[in-house]
Amino acid sequence: MALAQHLPALQVILPLISAPLAILFRRAGPAFLIVTAAAWLSFAIAIALFLQVDASGLISYPMGNWQPPWGIEYRLDRLNSFMLVLVSGMAAIVLPYARGSIEREIPHESHYMFYAMLGLCLTGLLGIVITGDAFNLFVFLEVSSLSTYVLIAMGRDRRALTAAYQYLIMGSIGATFIVIGIGFLYLMTGTLNLADMVPRVAVIESSRPGLAALAFISVGVSLKVALFPLHQWLPNAYTYAPSSVSAFLAATATKVALYALIRFYFTVFGDNFVFGKLPLPEFMLILSLFAMLFANAIAIFQDNLKRLFAYSSVGQIGYITLGLSFDSVHGVGASIMHLFNHGVAKGAIFLLIGGAVARMTTRQAAPPAPTFERIAGLSKAMPLTCFGVVLGGLSLIGVPGTAGFVSKWYLVLAAMEKGQWWLVGAILVSSLLAVAYVWRFVEAAYFRAPPAGRETGKEAPFALLIPGWLLILATLWFGLDTSFTAGAALDAAQQLVHSGN
C-alpha cells in the first residue's frame, strides 16, 4: 500500500537510478537489463497511474513530503497521465529494439553509455510530464535535452555530430527562453508551483512582464516542439541519429514539448486569456498551416526516407497546433489524440526503416542512408517491413481503420464547428500531400527493380521487426477501438478548455 502511494515518485526515480547504475556496470548486458527493467516498470506504473486518475481524478504527490506550494509537487490529471503512458510505453518498446539495432551503429564499448543516456532521456521526459513545478520542469527539460544531444551524436555518420551540435544550440536557446519566461512568472507571482500560480497569473497576465513571460515561454517551447519555422534542427537530428533514437525522439520528444505548451497555455495562463484576448490563435493557425502544407510538401521531395518522415513529423505537428488554436473540446481533444496516434505511427515507421537499414549495413562501414535508390524493390526482400511502413503511412494519411483517421475526424469536426470551411480544405489537402510521400515509398519499394549489387534477399532481423510491428498493430487497434485514446483525450480537453480563469 505504501508503495502504491509513491508511484508518482517511482515513475521518475526508477529510470533516473537506472542510468548511473548502468554506468557503474560499464558493460552492455547489465546496462541493458537495468534500463529496460526500469522502462518496463515505469510503463507499468504509468498504466497504474492512468487507471488511478481515471477512477479517482487528480493525484497530487508532495515530493519528499514537502507540502505544495513550497515543496515540489507531482500532479497528475487526465492529460499527463495519458502522456506518461505514451512516453514510457515507447521506451519499453524501443529499448529491446535498441539492443539489436545499435549493434551495427555504435561501438560495442560505449553501449552501456547509450542505455544510460536513454534512461536519462526517459527520466527527463517523464519528469516534464509529471511535475507540477515550473522550475522542476525546466530541469527535467534539460535532463532530457542533454541526454538527447548525446544520443543523436552517437549516430555513426559524422553529420550526426553537427546535427547534435545544432540541436544543442537551438535546444539550449529554447530552454533558456523557457527559464526566462518562468523567471518572469516567478517574479510576478512569487511561486513556482503551477497550480498555485494559476490564480495569481490571472491577476498579472495582462501586465507587461506577464506578456513577456508568455512570449518567452511560447518561443522557447515552440523551438522544442519544432513548430514551423523553428523546426530546422529536427530533420538532421532524426536523420542521422541511431535508428532507435530517431524512433524514440519522433514518438516522444516533440510530443512532450507540446504537452508543456498545452500545460502553459491552458492551465497556467488559461485559454480564455491566451486564445480569447490575444491574437495568438491567428498566429498559431497560420504557423500550423505553413507546417501542414509546406513541411508535408517538402517531405515529398526528400531522397532520404528518414529525412522524409522527419519533415512529415513537422507537418503532423502542424495538425496538433492547429487543433490547439481552435480552443474547443474537439479541437484540443484532436490534438491530444494526435500526439498519441502520430507518436505511435511515426515511431513504428522509424523502427521499421531502422530494421531495413540494419539489414543493409555491414560491420565495417557506416550504415547507408535509406535513400529511395537503395530501397528500390525492397518489398521482395523485406515484405513485412515494407508492408508495415505502408500501414504506418496510411495512419499518417488518416485512412479509416488507422489511428490517424480518428484524430483527423475530430480535427475536421472542430474546424466545422468554427465554421472554417477553408481550414477543412487545408487539413484534407495536407493529408493528400501525405498520400504523395507515402506513395513515393510504395512505388519505390514495390515497383522498382532492386539496385544491382544489393545483397538482400532477407527480411529485417526479427528482433527489430517485432517492436515495429507491435506499434503498427497498435496503430490499427487504436484506429478501431478508440475508447482509450479518444476517451482520455476528450476528457483531458474537457478539463483544459474554458476551465475558468
Partner 1 sequence: MLAHFTNVITVFLMVAGLFIITARGNLIKKLVGLSLFQTSVYLLYITPGKLIGGTAPILSPAYTVYSNPLPHVLILTAIVVGVSTLALGLALTVRIREAYGSIEEDEILALDHSVEDDEARESH
Partner 2 sequence: MDSLILASLVLPVFGAAGILLAGRWPNLRESVTIVTAVATFACVVQLVEPVLAGSQPGVRLFELFSGLPVAFRVEPLGMIFALVASGLWIVSSIYSIGYMRGNGEHDQTRFYVCFALSIAAALGIAFSANLLTLFLFYEILTLITYPLVTHSRTEKAKRGGRVYLAILMGTSMLFLLPAIIYTWHVAGTTDFRVGGILPATLTPGALTALLALYMFGIGKAALMPFHRWLPAAMVAPTPVSALLHAVAVVKAGVFSVVKVVAYVFGAGVLAGQTGWLIAVAAFTILAASIVALRADNFKRRLAYSTVSQLSYIVLAAVVLTPLSTVGAALHIVSHALGKITLFFTAGAIYTAAHQTEISQFDGIGRRMPWTMTAFTIGSLSIIGIPPFVGFVSKWYILSGALSAGMLQVAAVFLLSTLLNAAYLLPIVHRAFFREPVHDDHHGEHGEAPPFMVIAVCLTAAGTLAVALFPDVLVGLAQRIVSGGGV
Angle at 490 between CA 487 and CA 494, to 5 degrees: 135
Q: Which is nearer to partner 2, 186 or 446 (CB)?
A: 446
Number of residues in contact with partner 2, rule: CB under 8 A? 29
Q: Does 431 bind partner 2 (CB under 8 A)?
A: yes
Q: Does 301 bind partner 2 (CB under 8 A)?
A: no
Other CB atoms closer than 10 Å to residue 26's CB: what's the count?
12
Q: Does 297 bind partner 2 (CB under 8 A)?
A: no
- Which residues are near partner 1 by CB under 8 A? 135, 138-139, 142, 146, 149-150, 153, 158-159, 161-162, 164-165, 168-169, 172-173, 175-176, 179-180, 183, 186-187, 192, 303, 369, 371, 373-374
- State how far the alpha carbon of 132 is from the alpha carbons of 5, 81, 97, 127, 279, in Å: 17, 13, 32, 9, 27
Q: Which is nearer to partner 2, 212 or 413 (CB)?
A: 413
Q: Which is nearer to partner 2, 229 or 400 (CB)?
A: 400
Provide the CA 7 distance to its chain's centre, in angstroms.
23
Q: Which does 51 bind (CB under 5 to 8 A by kind): partner 1, partner 2, none?
A: none
All 3 cell numbers of residue 362?
555491414
Select from 375, 394, 489, 496 the one that contacts partner 2 (CB under 8 A).
394
What are the φ and ψ backbone dihedral angles of 321, each rounded to 5 degrees?
-70, -30
Select from 482, 485, 491, 492 the one that contacts partner 2 (CB under 8 A).
482
Q: Which is nearer to partner 1, 150 or 389 (CB)?
A: 150
- Residue 245 to residue 102: CA distance in whole angstroms: 10
DSSP 208-269: HHHHHHHHHHHHHHHHHHT-TTS-THHHHHHHHS-HHHHHHHHHHHHHHHHHHHHIIIIIII
What is the closest distance, in whole angstroms, from the C-beta atom of residue 368 to partner 2 in the complex?
Answer: 25
What is the closest distance, in whole angstroms, from the C-beta atom of residue 432 to partner 2 in the complex?
Answer: 6
Q: Does 67 bind partner 2 (CB under 8 A)?
A: no
Bridge-partner residues for 133, per DSSP? Answer: 193
Nearest to 360 by CA among 347, 375, 377: 375
Q: Does 446 bind partner 2 (CB under 8 A)?
A: yes
Give the chain's end-to-end CA distance (angstroms, integer).
Answer: 37
- Residue 23 to residue 33: CA distance in whole angstroms: 12
Q: Which does 447 bind (CB under 5 to 8 A by kind): partner 2, partner 1, none?
A: partner 2
Is residue 379 within 8 A of residue 385, CB to CB? The reply is no
Select from 5, 29, 429, 462 the one that contacts partner 2 (CB under 8 A).
429
Q: Which does 150 bind (CB under 5 to 8 A by kind): partner 2, partner 1, none?
A: partner 1
What is the closest distance, in whole angstroms, from the C-beta atom of residue 408 to partner 2 in the complex?
Answer: 8
Instruction: By CB under 8 A, name the binding residues for partner 2.
Output: 394, 398-401, 406, 409-410, 412-413, 416-417, 424-425, 428-429, 431-432, 435, 439, 443, 446-447, 480-483, 486, 490
